[in-house]
Amino acid sequence: MISLKSFLSRSVSYCALTLMVVATFGTINPVNAQWMPSQSQIEQLKSLPRAQQEALAKQFGIDPSMLDQINSQSSSSSDQKRQKESVVFPRGTSFDKNGDPIIPEDLEEQFTRDKDELKPFGYELFAGEPKSFSPTGYAPVPSNYIMGVGDTIKVQLFGKENRSYDLTIDREGKVVIPDLGELNVAGLSYTLMQELIQSQVKQRLIGFNAAVSMGELRSIQVFIAGEAYKPGSYTISSLSTISQALYLAGGFSDIASLRSIRLMRAGEVVSDFDLYDLLLEGDASDDKMLQSGDVVFIPTRGDMVTVKGEVKRPALYELKGDETLEDAIRFAGGSEDNAYLSSAQLQRIVKGKRLISTVDLTSEKHLNKELQGGDVLTLREVSDSLDNSLLLVGAVTRPGHYEWYEGIRLNDVLRDSRHDLLEQADLAYGLVVRETGPQRDLSLYQFNVAEAISGKTEENLVLEERDQIVIFSRYQTEEQEEQQLSRFTLTEQERQADERQEMLAEYRQAFLEDLVQSKTGIEEDLSNRQRAPLADLFGSPDEDDVEIADEDLALYSRDKLLEPIMQRMERQRTSNGNTPLVYVAGEVTHPGVYPLVENASVSRLLDAAGGVKDSAYLKRAEVTRFEFNKDTARTDYLSVALNDVLNGEMDVPLQGRDRLNVLSIPEWQNTYEVTLKGEVRFPGTYAIKRGETLTQLIERAGGFTDHAFIEGAVFTREELRKQEQERKKILAQELQREVAGNMLTGTGDSRVSYSEVRNLLADLLSAEPIGRLIMDLPKLLAGNGANNVQLKDGDTLHVPSRKDSISIMGEVQMATSYRFDPELTVDEYISRSGGTKEKADEERIYIVKANGAIERYEGGSSWFSFSSNSQLGPGDTIIVPMDTTYTENLELWSQVTGIIYNSAVAIAAINGL
């Protein structure tokens, strides 16, 4: 049966909605049109039961699927509205007049604070600030929720007909259900309330069943006191717990306790909530649900301990009761994998003094040690040094750390020279570096790489833990490697460049870390550190021992790999007080300073130096030894037969600061080369012997061709070219100094500006030195060896083709060349060039002969005039110099212009080949 009241209510709602639809859309054709409701109509439709919604949809020809779409849109809109109505924001958040959050005031501080600064644990989790105190009632209702005044209950009756009611518990704790009457539900749990209504409907309303759910929850008022961020009275949802209330209150103040948050109800402590149980264990059993009038009290915090270092969550933690070191590690989330638990550091304040102790966190006894306020527990990192390992570096294919085990030998690490070594590896010289004793002194063991790999007992050394195996390149410079190695080999090495550089840096650091104050400064120290002049320990360095710039050294060169070792060895002393370094000079491949190895000998040192050169005198070498006594120092000399040493018939032990000098074969010379160019029958580069002359070499080259102009031959020498370059620099400095002095003192009547001086100096320095040796080659060849020229390495003879021209250079109107005419004089050639310029010095005109000789021109009017054998010839050049009176009579000007003109003449002669 449907009551009259219910029927009227449904009819009114139905009619009202029908009138609203008609008023809005007019008459609706159920077939051709569908209803498109407005937002307000949707809200009214949403309030009706599902059965009435479907009935209306059927009545007006609306697709029933629109009902689901409308309800989902309403739900989504409601969710967005709820999300928009966020009531908690980070601390320091300000709000504009519309209630929207703006940038926090402490934003800059939040982003600039020290990340390494340790903070008390757990405080930031609740560091929010409430925008308002509106209750939030969208959480699911637990079964033990106690119903109270103000709660709303949704009751839906279904059966013969469907009804829906929103019922609010009144102040007497009752709800009134139409056709059923009053029910007292206040004080019942949510589950009992559901069961009560459902049973009453079944018993008293025949043909009906009830679905009971929770509507809007009541709001309650609680008080948060003590060390809250913003203590006070808050209106919150009746489902709120202690932790939720703390979040709405903005969390805690800086001195609040997280270990003993008390829930007070009617003056009694209902719950003592330890927030660490929730944060560390996920235990929320003491996070009780609040009731109206409850007080949440936050006391000040107790003693604090600091846990830092190699733990997962370094922070300050609050103590409660009798916590131990084990609890401290648990608070911090446990130790990191690289923590050194056997030696942790515990600082404690005792009688006003801070004391430090070492605790073993692997020991049960130490783990049970009680903590005290102010304790600082620091877990340090395990050493980077790898135990049970070997380090392989240098010219190897797979550098890095290898496992060490008892009895391991070199060929257990280096198994095959083709696959384990790079192409440039030196197969005769390798080192095992070992640290010994408490001072970590270095002991070095030299081995022959090839013989060690093949298993030769004397060379295949037994390795010890943390040994370092160093394999060198047989080249000293990158240029040598690029010339000798294939492009494919270099490309393969470049692919692994990063890994190799990393291993080299680790290798260098292992030796140099005790030379600097901190680990972070090691690489900077290495880059700024200049190699110590170790050769000075042995007197003057050998002329062949040339220091190579670091950027030019090959990656695995001796200089680069031995440097960190020798920097350490330099600080050590042998048993007799000497520095454990030795020096080899003379005819060896890599002369220089080397570290003293165990059982050092002459043969070992020769292997380290790359072996002897072809020029080495094998019958005799010399060892210089410095002996130090208490009061005196003595120098001894030991003669060594290198032949016997190299053949293995004998050897000479070495000690610190010994110097081995490998002599050169008497009268030995390297291959000297001389170049013949131009009109020679067989031009090219010839190897010569010491003392060979120019005429002998010309004879070997088959003499000259029929077109050779031997009077104009140009002979150049590298030695002379360097001398010319130095003379030019000196002349330029003198000229600049003299001109500057005249300008400062005002001496003379200067007609030349400073810019002109600079231009002339630039021309002087830019003139390429030739290094020409002036000679009369026809006379030399006709002299049958008299006054012959002994050749030197790098000499060059340029023999031009026959010339028939005369050139004019200098201060003439048109510097040019003319076909040689024996009937013309110097004056006539100058006239043909337009005559001299205003600045020409006509009294100093001179002629550069084809062979480079210079003759002064006297105008043919004095006894200095040219004789018949000194007249102009083919290939000669007439030089008209500048008048020096225009440059304050500086004699240097004439020298400058002379050098420039003569260089130009020589270059023109060479280029004319």
Spatial separation of the C-alpha atoms in residues 873 and 826, rounded to whole Å: 11
Q: Give dist(CA 494, CA 376) in Å, integer.
A: 49
Q: Are residues 792 and 806 in contact, defined by beta-carbon separation less than 8 angstroms?
A: no
Q: Which residues pair with 159 in a beta bridge?
A: 208
First-last CA distance in the chain: 132
What six digits make up the tokens of 469? 């195996």
Nearest CA-CA partner of 819 in 829, 834, 809, 827 = 829
Q: Which secondary-structure segment (H or E) carries 163? A: strand 163-168
Angstrom distance (rounded) from CA 535 to CA 525: 22
Q: Which of 88, 91, 170 is nearest to 136 (CA)?
A: 88
CA dihedral (502, 507, 508, 511) positive or negative: positive
How many alpha carbons lie under 13 Å from residue 785 in its C-beta half-sphere?
A: 3
Burial of 830 (0-12, 13-18, 19+ CB in 10 A): buried
The set of long-range contacts for 691-700, using a CB threshold of 8 Å and a minimum separation of 24, is 691/790, 692/790, 692/791, 693/785, 693/788, 693/789, 693/790, 693/791, 694/780, 694/788, 694/789, 694/791, 694/797, 695/780, 695/781, 695/785, 695/788, 697/791, 698/781, 698/797
Full DSSP string of 637-704:
EEEE-HHHHHTTS---B--TT-EEEEEEPTT--PPEEEEEEESBSS-EEEEE-TT-BHHHHHHHTT-B
Digit-coded pLDDT (tens) for 630-687: 677 788 899 999 999 999 899 999 988 899 999 988 877 667 889 999 899 999 999 8
The answer to whether the beta carbons of residues 117 and 239 sit under 8 Å apart is: no
Mean pLDDT by 10 residues, the chain (913 residues): 41 43 41 47 61 63 62 51 49 62 52 66 74 55 82 86 86 85 86 88 83 84 90 85 84 90 90 90 87 91 93 93 91 91 92 91 92 93 82 89 92 91 91 88 92 93 92 87 64 57 68 46 42 58 67 85 85 79 91 91 93 89 83 84 91 91 81 88 89 88 90 86 79 69 58 62 69 83 76 88 84 86 86 85 81 75 41 83 58 56 59 53
904's tokens: 């130009």
Tokens read off for 653? 């032990």
Position 244: which residue type? Q
Handedness of CA 474, 476, 482, 487 (dihedral sign): positive
- According to the model, what pLDDT value does residue 160 have? 78
Tokens of 8: 């009227």
What pLDDT is attached to residue 767? 67
pLDDT for the residue numbered 65: 61
Query: What is the model's pLDDT at position 249?
Result: 83
For 340, 713, 854, the CA distances from 776, given in Å and listed in that order, are 87, 9, 12
Residue written as token pair 């059993």: 285
Edge-first strand order for the sheet with 261-265 is 232-237, 219-226, 295-298, 261-265, 268-273
Cα 326 to Cα 18: distance, rounded to the nearest angstrom: 74
**Whether the Cβ atoms of residue 261 and residue 242 lie closer than 8 Å to each other:** yes
Q: How far is the C-alpha of 623 from the C-alpha of 794, rounded, in Å?
A: 35
Would residue 38 be called left, alpha or beta, if left means φ above 0 and alpha means ψ between -120 and 50 degrees? beta
